[in-house]
Structure 1
Amino acid sequence: MAQTSGATTKLAQHEAVPAPTDVGALANRINKETRTLHNKIDKMMTLKLALALRDPKIYRQGLQSFYHVFATVERCLTQQINANNEWSDMLNEIWKPEIARTEKCEQDLMFYYDDNREKFEKPIMPEQIEFVNHIVKSVHDKPYLLLAYLHVMYLALFAGGRIMRSSISRATGLFPQKNGLSHEEIVKLGTNFFTFDVADENLLRLVYKRDYELLTRSGLTEEQKLEVIEESKYIFEQNGKCVSELERHNLVRLSRKWSYIAATKGYYVLMALLVLAVVYYVRRLVVHAMF
């Protein structure tokens, strides 16, 4: 039985699953098969987040992109659980209401869009629309593909939620001023997406991972597991496309930022500066020699 004591999580030995060395565990297989894609997206997100945290308009667009994915997944998940089909019980037992992100993300977006829901309610960018439509069609035909999203999208938040909250809270110029509220209160209003309303986030993560493994281990055929792995790859790829789409959409704004120039064209800027420096010193030497 899982127990918590203050901030310390205690699990019985048999509950700490899957073990990192369990090569048959679906979660471990997904991680292995998507490692290259994960590293690529992680590097991309690290750079883009650093830039977005300097511009609230870009940050809220990024948050909006993820909102549509989570909202669609959770809407489809609810439909499948209520459908009373062969996948309903498995999905219901794996799902934990505390990890739902739709309402949390809405709270943040209402904050950043000044309570104007029309600004974010529907996806308007092509890759976001493609992502949402793909989710709806795929899980309607094969409800077990939701398991790819329950692993990739939600465990990513468990892994990075605390780090993200810390990074965002220190961001300069990201938060709008609100009369009568302290900086700490304002930060809390704008970081709901990365907050889980539980006493012990680590315990929630461990129980979630345990139930995911125990229920998928014999509940899926090998062919279905392979399909879940392929869908997981698609999630990483499409997330990358959505991020790149936002970058293109904001290219004019980004191109004015020195941090963006340094990150994307740093090598060429450095070489240009070196050339200018060489020309300058050569010119000085020539002038000195002549006079």
Structure 2
Amino acid sequence: MSLDHASSQPPKPLAFEMVAATRELHTRINRLVVSRLPLALPPQAPDAGPYISGLLHLLPVYMTFEKLWQDIIPDTLPQETALDDERPKISERMHTILKELRIPQLFRSDILRADIKSMTGWSDDILDNQIDVIKRKGKLCAFISHIKQIIPDEPHTLIAYSYNLFMALFAGGRFIRASFEKAGDEFWETVPRPIRPTMEPCRPKSTAPSPLEPTYDLGETNRQSQTPLQFWRFNTAEDGEDLKRDYKEVLLRWESELSPWEREDIVRESVIILENIESIVNHLDSMFAEEQEEKPSIQIPKRPSLADRFAQTQFVARIRDSFMIAKERGVRSSLRSQSLDTTTTEEGEQESKGEYAHHDNVAADIELCPGVPKSMRFAKSLPIPPRRHARVAAAKDGSLKGKLAVRSSMQPANTAMPRPVLVGLIGLFLLYIFVRIRGIMSVGTVMV
């Protein structure tokens, strides 16, 4: 009973099935296009060259399936039976469906050709030669061959091509058009560089308006109406929204005439179309990625990661620690030199106090340095007592007033410190170092 109930339910709209089957592909293509679109706009692109390259890879697709549709459903009935015999054989039912769905204002081939010619200054012969070269290579060549084979054999698959390639102009196409409309006059007035992949040079643009531009006011500015973006515009009062509405209404009205296997073919072909479009977009991405590598000056700078910032911070902290340790050692050596160069006891005491004050300031700076671990402490150097015997001897010598007498390397100086005092000072210094080491070790043990 449940199976009979399920079979009695009407099928979902064909448009819904096509969208559901291609949703993941749509998402990937949209992300890739949106992320790469800035590379075709100022300041990354000084002219419309990358944009033209993309259009040159789309034009053969529209030209192929629109031409086949034209052959199956001509605008006028042929007068000669010979031509009628060469036309693909389709049923009267399918002929009616495709004829109802065929809305000439949706067709894009001629408009796209006019846009490219306007931007490049190429003649029809040059443009046809570029199209012929491009469509004979890579994924695009395989896609064109597939279209030429599948549509004559299964004419109902034209519904998949018309829906996916026409309706896309109203979704992502609006976003692309708005992005290029903001590019500025200088961008469109600049003659593009040679166009990839053939590197065909462009000619100065003609100032004559395109014959395919709208002849009525759509509410847009005069500058926008002259911009070569007619591929994304439609020659109707609602800028194509009425065409989109009419197409969906006709499809919904006639899809009930399709057999289940025809619907399956249409949904399957929709997936094939989007897979090939993704391949073309990836090909364009790789083609211009090579150009970005050739010109590193316009590459987008890579943002440093959190790990890079952490490593840089640790490196700077270590350099700062080494600098502060070296600075403190310099302070200690300067203290010793000051004690030898001082001429009087009073001057020596004042200079020693000044140096000790400076040493305290350095130590305070070290404590406040954020790069130094808090467990690290720098021991203050022991004060060096003034050497009064040397100063007294220098004071008695009038010719060497204010300076120490030069001592002979072979004769002991009479200013030598008594041995018991020196031994005592050395003992105190060793005891001080021992106490400091034990204190640091105890602190490290507690921290661990």
| 2:105 is aligned with 1:105 | no
1:254 pairs, out of 289, 292, 309, with 292
The worse-fitting range, judged by mean Cα deviation, of 75-84 and 196-205 is 75-84
1:27 matches 2:11: no
* Residue correspondence of structure 1 range 194-213 to structure 2 within 5 A: 194-200=232-238, 201-213=240-252
Query: Aligned-pair distance for 1:50?
Result: 2.3
Determine the C-alpha separation between the residues in 1 that align with 2:325 and 2:222. Answer: 63
Q: Is the 8 A contact 1:72 1:132 kept in 2?
A: yes
Residue identity in the other structure for 2:13: A
Q: Secondary structure at the match of 2:90?
A: coil
Shift of 1:67: 0.9
Tell whether 2:206 aligns with 1:168: no
Distance in 2 between the 1:29 and 1:227 partners?
12
3-state SS in 2 of match to 1:168? helix
| Shift, 1:179, TM fit | 8.4
Query: 2:170 corresponds to which residue?
Result: 158
The Cα RMSD (Å) is 2.7
Match of 1:192 in 2: 230
Q: Percent identity?
A: 22
The residue number in structure 2 matching 1:147 is 159
CA distance in 2, matches of 1:148, 1:246: 24
Residue matched to 1:85: 90
Mark the CA change 1:150 to 1:179 in structure 2 (over 3 Å): closer, same or farther: closer
Give the stretch that moved more between structures: 55-64 or 278-287. 278-287
TM-superposed deviation, 1:101: 0.4
Which segment drifts farther, 139-148 or 166-175? Answer: 166-175
Map Cα deviations across residues 126-147 of structure 1 (whole Å, 9 max, x no partner).
Answer: 1111111111111111111111
Correspondence 1:132 to 2:132: no
* 1:45 to partner: Cα distance: 1.2
Q: Displacement, 1:227? A: 1.3
Q: Which residue of 2 is the match for residue 286 of structure 1?
A: 322
State the secondary structure of the residue aligned to 2:131.
coil
Q: Any idea what SS the aligned residue of 1:175 has?
A: helix
**Cα contact 2:90–2:155 (8 A) shared by 1:** no
Partner of 1:14 in structure 2? none
Partner Cα separation in structure 2 for residue 124 and residue 175 of structure 1? 29
Q: Please report the TM-score for the alignment, with normalisation by the length of structure 1.
A: 0.80
Superposed CA deviations along residues 106-140 of structure 1, whole A, max 9, x for unmatched, are 01111222224424332243111111111111111
Would you say 1:228 and 2:266 are equivalent positions?
A: yes
| Counterparts in 2 of 1:208 and 1:261: CA distance versus 1, 3 Å | same
- Count the aligned residue pairs: 264
Relative distance call for 1:159 and 1:139 in structure 2 (3 A) is same
1:39 aligned partner, one-letter code? T
C-alpha distance in structure 2 between counterparts of 1:62 and 1:147, whole Å: 24
Looking at secondary structure, tell me which structure has more helix per residue.
1
Moved more, 160-169 or 59-68: 160-169
C-alpha distance in structure 2 between counterparts of 1:288 and 1:41, whole Å: 56
Partner SS, residue 121 of structure 1 = helix
The one-letter code of the counterpart of 2:263 is K
Deviations 1:39-59 (A, max 9, x none): 111111111222223432211
The SS at the match of 1:229 is helix
Greater relative CO (CA pairs within 8 A, separation 6+): 1
CA distance in 2, matches of 1:230, 1:257: 42
Say which of 226, 237, 241 aligns to 2:275: 237
Cα drift, residue 285 of structure 1: 4.0
TM-score normalised by structure 2 residue count? 0.54
Partner Cα separation in structure 1 for residue 310 and residue 102 of structure 2: 59
What does the per-residue CA deviation read over 1:82-115, in whole Å, with 9 as the maximum and x for residues that have no partner? 4473222211111111111001100111122222
- The Cα of 1:286 is off from its aligned counterpart by 3.1
Per-residue CA deviations over 1:245-279 (Å, capped at 9, x if unaligned) read 112222222233677645xxx46x54685267333
Q: 1:184: Cα distance to partner? A: 5.2
Quick one: structure 1 residues 141 and 36, their matched pair in 2 at CA, closer, same or farther if it must change by over 3 Å?
same
For residue 17 of structure 1, what is the aligned residue in structure 2?
none
**Partners in 1 of 2:117 and 2:290 — Cα distance?**
25
Letter in 2 for 1:102: S
Paired residue for 1:121?
131
Counterpart contact for 2:106–2:166, Cα < 8 Å: yes
